[in-house]
C-alpha cells in the first residue's frame, strides 16, 4: 500500500509481507547462503518473465519478487533481475552490465505499457550498507501507479532547463548537476554532481534525449553499460570494492517530457544518521573534482593492473 506523508510529500510503501524475507544479515555484513540455499541459483524459474542465454545455460532471468513491496492488486509490480547465473558474479565483468541493461530496458517497456503504471524504477543494491539481503548478483524492478517526488523534481528541473535554453534534456540535466565531468564521449557523459547524496556519487547521462530507458537504442545501452563497467573498475582501482547502489531515473514518454533518463552510482560507506534524518542534508567528504580525479586515476590503475597480469 502506498501512503503519502502530507508533511514532507514523501511516499511510504507499507508492505508487512517484507518482514517474512530470509535476511542473512548480521553484525554489519551479509551472510552468504551458499549455492544450495540460494534462491537465485539453479534452474530457470518457472514464472520467469524474461531470460537471456539458453534455457539450460541461462545467464539472466527476471522473476516476480517473492516478497513484493507493491502487488499487482495495488497497481504495481515488483520483480527481481537475477543478473548472473553464477552465485559469485563479478561486477568488473563488462558483460554483466550490458546483459542487464538490455533486458531491463525491454522489460521496462513492457511494464510501462501495463494499464495504471506511471513510473518504473530499476535499482541494484550491492553489499550490506547498500541494503542488499542476498549476495547473488541481482537487481530489482518496481512499477508504480504514482510518480515519486524525486523523479517528479528531476523532471521539473529538466523542463526548467529546456525553457531557459539548455538545448536538450541531457544538457539540462548535466547543467543541473553542476560538478565535474569525469568522462565524456559522443553517446554518454559521466558526471560527478556538485551536490552528491553519498561521497563519490557519479551519474551516467546518455545523450539520447529520451525520458525512458525503454526507448533507448542498443548502441546507447551498450555505451551506458561500458560506463558502469568503467566506474566500477575506477572505484575498485582507487579504493577497492565498496558497497553501492545503482539507481535509474526514467519515466514513460507520456509522463517524462524534460527528463533525460540516467543512472546514479552511489557508493555506500555509512548509514544515514540523525543529522540526515533531521535535515535531509547529506554530509560528504569529497568534492566533485576530487571524485572525478580519483575515478580517472583508479581506472588507469585498474587498466595497468590488467596489462601487468596479461588479461
Ligand atoms: Zn546464488
- How far apart are alpha carbons 275 and 272 in whole angstroms? 8
- How far apart are alpha carbons 218 and 139 in whole angstroms? 20
For ligand 1, the distance from its centroid to the CA atom of residue 84, given in whole angstroms, is 9
Q: What DSSP character marks residue 214?
A: G
Residue 136 has pLDDT above 80, yes or no: yes
Q: What DSSP character marks residue 16?
A: G
Residue 26 has pLDDT above 80, yes or no: no
Residue 18 has pLDDT above 90, yes or no: no
Asked if 131 contacts 244 with a C-beta cutoff of 8 angstroms, the reply is no
For ligand 1, the distance from its centroid to the CA atom of residue 202, given in whole angstroms, is 29
For ligand 1, the distance from its centroid to the CA atom of residue 135, given in whole angstroms, is 7
For ligand 1, the distance from its centroid to the CA atom of residue 88, given in whole angstroms, is 7
Instruction: Report CA dihedral (171, 173, 179, 185) to the nearest 10 degrees.
Output: -50
For ligand 1, the distance from its centroid to the CA atom of residue 63, given in whole angstroms, is 14
Going from N- to C-terminal start, the domains of the chain cover 44-309
| pLDDT digit string, tens, across residues 141-181 | 999 999 999 999 999 999 999 999 989 999 999 999 999 99
Rg over alpha carbons for the chain, rounded to the nearest Å, is 19
For ligand 1, the distance from its centroid to the CA atom of residue 98, given in whole angstroms, is 20
User: What is the arithmetic mean of pLDDT over 21-35?
Assistant: 76
Task: Return the exposure string of 113-143: e unless at least 16 CB atoms fall within 10 Å of the residue's CB, then b.
Answer: eeeebbbbbbbbbbbbbbebebbbbbbbbbb
Q: Distance of alpha carbon 295 from its chain centroid, rounded?
A: 18
According to CATH, the topology of domain 44-309 is HIT family, subunit A (3.30.428)
Cell readout for 230 is 568503467
- How far apart are alpha carbons 263 and 247 in whole angstroms? 6
What pLDDT, on the 0 to 100 scale, is given for residue 24? 62
For ligand 1, the distance from its centroid to the CA atom of residue 224, given in whole angstroms, is 26
What pLDDT, on the 0 to 100 scale, is given for residue 72? 92
pTM as predicted: 0.94
For ligand 1, the distance from its centroid to the CA atom of residue 87, given in whole angstroms, is 4
| pLDDT digit string, tens, across residues 109-126 | 999 999 999 999 999 999
| pLDDT digit string, tens, across residues 36-81 | 999 999 999 999 999 998 767 899 999 999 999 999 999 999 999 9
For ligand 1, the distance from its centroid to the CA atom of residue 71, given in whole angstroms, is 25
Residue 198 has pLDDT above 70, yes or no: yes
For ligand 1, the distance from its centroid to the CA atom of residue 59, given in whole angstroms, is 12
For residue 63, the cross-strand partners are 80
Lowest mean per-residue pLDDT among 81-85, 141-145, 275-279: 275-279
Q: Distance of alpha carbon 2 from its chain centroid, rounded?
A: 22
Could you tell me the pLDDT band of residue 86, with boundaries at 50, 70 and 90?
very high
Smallest CA-to-CA distance from 215 within 206, 227, 204 is with 206
3-state secondary structure of 216: coil
Amino acid at each position: 500500500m502506498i501512503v503519502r506523508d502530507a508533511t514532507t510529500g514523501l511516499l511510504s510503501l507499507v508492505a508487512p509481507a517484507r518482514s517474512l524475507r530470509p535476511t542473512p544479515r548480521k553484525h554489519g555484513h551479509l551472510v552468504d547462503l551458499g549455492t544450495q540455499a540460494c534462491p537465485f541459483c539453479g534452474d530457470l524459474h518457472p514464472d520467469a518473465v524474461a531470460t537471456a542465454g539458453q534455457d539450460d545455460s541461462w545467464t539472466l532471468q527476471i522473476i516476480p519478487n517473492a516478497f513484493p513491496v507493491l502487488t499487482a492488486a495495488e497497481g504495481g509490480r515488483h520483480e527481481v533481475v537475477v543478473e548472473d547465473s553464477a552465485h559469485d558474479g563479478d561486477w568488473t565483468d563488462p558483460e554483466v552490465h550490458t546483459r542487464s541493461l538490455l533486458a531491463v530496458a525491454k522489460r521496462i517497456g513492457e511494464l510501462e505499457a501495463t494499464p495504471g503504471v506511471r513510473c518504473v524504477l530499476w535499482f541494484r543494491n550491492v553489499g550490506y550498507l547498500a541494503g542488499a539481503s542476498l549476495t547473488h548478483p541481482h537487481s530489482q524492478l518496481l512499477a508504480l501507479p504514482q510518480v515519486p517526488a524525486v523523479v517528479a523534481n528531476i523532471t521539473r528541473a529538466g523542463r526548467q532547463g529546456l525553457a531557459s535554453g539548455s538545448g536538450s534534456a541531457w544538457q539540462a540535466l548535466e547543467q543541473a548537476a553542476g560538478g565535474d565531468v569525469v568522462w565524456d564521449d559522443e553517446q554518454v557523459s559521466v558526471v560527478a554532481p556538485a551536490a552528491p547524496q553519498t561521497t563519490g556519487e557519479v551519474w551516467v547521462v546518455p545523450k539520447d534525449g529520451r525520458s525512458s530507458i525503454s526507448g533507448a537504442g542498443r548502441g546507447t545501452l551498450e555505451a551506458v553499460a561500458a560506463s558502469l563497467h568503467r566506474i566500477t573498475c575506477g572505484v575498485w582501482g582507487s579504493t577497492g570494492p565498496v558497497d553501492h547502489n545503482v539507481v535509474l531515473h526514467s519515466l514513460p514518454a507520456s509522463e517524462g517530457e524534460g527528463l533525460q533518463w540516467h543512472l546514479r552510482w552511489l557508493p555506500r560507506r555509512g548509514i544515514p544518521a540523525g543529522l540526515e534524518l533531521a535535515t535531509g542534508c547529506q554530509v560528504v567528504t569529497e568534492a566533485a573534482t576530487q571524485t572525478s580525479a580519483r575515478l580517472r586515476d583508479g581506472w588507469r590503475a585498474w587498466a595497468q593492473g590488467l596489462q601487468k597480469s596479461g588479461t
